[in-house]
Chains A and B, each alone.
Chain A
Amino acid sequence: MTDLSEAVAVQDTAKIGPPLWLLAELTYRCPLHCVYCYNPVDFAKTEDELTTEQWFKVLREARELGSVQCGFSGGEPMLRDDLEVIVAEAHRLGYYTNLLTSGVGLNEKRIGALKEAGLDHIQLSFQDSTREMNDFLSSTRTFDLKRRAADMIKAHGYPMVMNCTIHRHNIDHIEAILQLASDIDAEYVELANTQYYGWAQVNRDQLLPSREQLERAERITNEWRATHGNKMKLFFVVPDYYEKRPKKCMNGWGNIFLTITPDGKALPCHTARMLPGLEFPDVRTSSIREIWYESEGFNRYRGTGWMKEPCSSCPEKENDYGGCRCQAYMIANDPAAADPVCDKSPLHNRITEVVDRAQIAGNAAQVKPLIYRGPKESLQLDRPF
């Protein structure tokens, strides 16, 4: 998701452009239990996964509209036995194919088969730089396995993005994380601060870093950039809680991103299914063309016409489209409100209160036990975030 902003800047904003980016969430099943997982907290309630044929239909119809970047994620997409055939079909249709994986389930046989299928790139996620922390944060023993996966990815000639979600418990290890990325020879490194959706929202106080931690991590990342040349491209994503303006979420609702959930719902972003009062179409019964251009789910928050104050009269509304609808819903309880990250939002204090708490190490909210993502916890919590 790096440079798409350049790609869309030249588009005519008056008309609806194509869904350039298709994210296929193949399954919610996952062997890991990340405490910041972006999947819906109540994922365990979802019903049947799409079949191979249904995924072919999605790929075909989206490609006809102009989708060209295709990500396969989850959950853990390697858990789908038909991943290789789905990738092969995407490749045949002319997509650039990206696999977003924890590395669990990658072996010589499958990685070779994926190469043959035409897979273009693999993004491998780590939880931290050391075995102890990686395995603690994912509640699994997967660090060594990930290291082996990284070697296999390189041996098969794939470009590799190493992704590490950053938060209070690993942010002080930035240097070691960068060293790990360099050791495994990643072409790109994403140090993506946790975004507070799904499970991360449940564990928010335990995960949000302090300002001091954040500044240190940014400084070290910049120093690394300055001293190590551009062999490895680094992306450091700050948590929007520390900003005064919201992110231009998804580059605009229904602008370039199309997510298909494991059970066939089409969403403008991977967390939108939490929003109340919006029916998102099912790919089994609607075509991608109907979904993208005609459905209420995609049209509701397109552009700026739906906005309320302070956004509707704001001179900056084209910059950020009012921020994130899910964040507005989670924090302001109204999906059409300004994203409370914005300091023009009357509810901005709900963000700064959380940020203020994060400056006091070891406060009561922070020391609550982390809740791990898992089917049992999902059914127990039984709520979207």
Chain B
Amino acid sequence: MAITTATVPKVGRNFRIQWEPAQDAYVLLYPEGMVKLNQSAGEILKRCDGAANVAAIVADLETTFNAQGLEADVLAFIELADQQKWVELT
């Protein structure tokens, strides 16, 4: 499905995101595997709670990091995450 600012992403049902102090990073865990997320990927994914839409995630990130114009980056990441099944979209 096409991803827009109204899309509501949720971390995929076979994945778990968690903060790992030993790696100083968010990691995505799944059967027998793990992806260490860079900071922006971690910050986006942990907001994919199945309630917030992309617009709300962007707004939250822009406030938290005092930044602007993140929409394109977030959309691009959600698209990648969707291909990898890291997120499910509604």
A residues touching B (Cβ–Cβ < 8 Å)? 1-4, 6-7, 10, 18, 20, 65-66, 68-69, 71, 94, 96, 98, 120-121, 123, 159-161, 187-188, 230
Contacts and interface: CB of A to CB of B under 8 A. Distances in A.
Contacts of B31: 98, 120-121, 123, 159-161, 187-188
Quick one: which of B16, B30, B33 has the most chain A CB within 10 A?
B33
Nearest to A67: B22
Given A94-B18, A159-B14, A187-B14, A66 B33 contact: no
B34 A4 contact: yes
A68 B36 contact: no
Given A66-B22, A159-B31, A120 B36 contact: no
B5 to A, nearest CB: 26
Contacts of B33: 1-4, 69
Interface in B22-51: 22-23, 27, 29-36, 38
B34 A69 contact: yes
A201 B25 CA distance: 40
Contacts of B20: 66, 68
B35 A7 contact: yes
A66 B20 CA distance: 7
B34 A7 contact: yes
Given A120-B16, A159-B14, A187-B14, A69 B35 contact: no
A103 B34 CA distance: 24
Contacts of B36: 6-7, 10
Contacts of B27: 7, 68
A1 B16 CA distance: 16
Given A66-B23, A159-B31, 16 more contacts: A2-B33, A3-B35, A7-B34, A7-B35, A10-B36, A18-B22, A65-B22, A66-B20, A66-B22, A68-B34, A120-B16, A120-B29, A121-B14, A121-B30, A123-B31, A187-B14
B87 to A, nearest CB: 15
Contacts of A66: 20-23
A6 B35 CA distance: 7
A161 B34 contact: no
